[in-house]
Amino acid sequence: MKNIAVYCGASEGKDEIYREAAIELAHWLVQNDLNLVYGGGGVGLMGILAKTVLDDGGKVYGIMPQELVDRGAAYDGLTELKVVEDMSERKRLMLEMSDASIALPGGPGTLEEIIEAFSWSRLGDNENPCVLYNVQGYYDYLKSMFNYMTDKGFLTKKDRSKLFFSDSLENIYTFMNSYIPPKIRQYAK
């Protein structure tokens, strides 16, 4: 079984489509025997995602800095909650525990985490595929920016191919399975 890191916000956004996408992603994870690794929060898209995975009988591994646990941000009832010292340790551990990374629509924190995962893949420190779940075109401007970086020579085509944008979970699954190293691919459904 594989673990999928999902980056998402502690808010739901203004449009119902983002809530629906989090629920759809949760159902998809469980249907494909994929465990959720996420930031451990109980509010916003984070809470919706975790609750739905758990309600569907899936496993949810939260990783949260002590500071946020102390503020009461942790979701009760997770399969496991790892409390770490800071956000840097959280991000590192999420990548170590996961076989792929997906970002739902979110704010600066969501974007920072998926971009760091992508940056580490360019350095060879992260073998995980990095996906932006492009719900209703949410990440279109960012996709254009990465294409522009490539056109201007600041990002190689090879590295650009490590970052996938899609609004289709079927296409995301195909990308992840084509990208995952053979030693891990054997666990793919």
CA distance 61 to 76: 11
| 78, pLDDT greater than 50 | yes
- The predicted-structure confidence for 140-171, as pLDDT tens digits, reads as follows 999 999 999 999 999 999 999 989 999 999 99
CA distance 17 to 150: 30
- The predicted-structure confidence for 83-117, as pLDDT tens digits, reads as follows 999 999 999 999 999 999 999 999 999 999 999 99
pTM attached to this predicted model: 0.92
Give pLDDT, residue 185. Answer: 43
Cβ–Cβ under 8 Å, residues 45 and 9: yes
Cβ–Cβ under 8 Å, residues 146 and 160: yes
Residue 166 token pair: 């899609």
Helix (H), strand (E) at residue 34: strand 34-38
CB atoms inside a 10 Å sphere around CB 128: 26
Rounded mean pLDDT, 177-184: 60
| 1, pLDDT greater than 70 | no
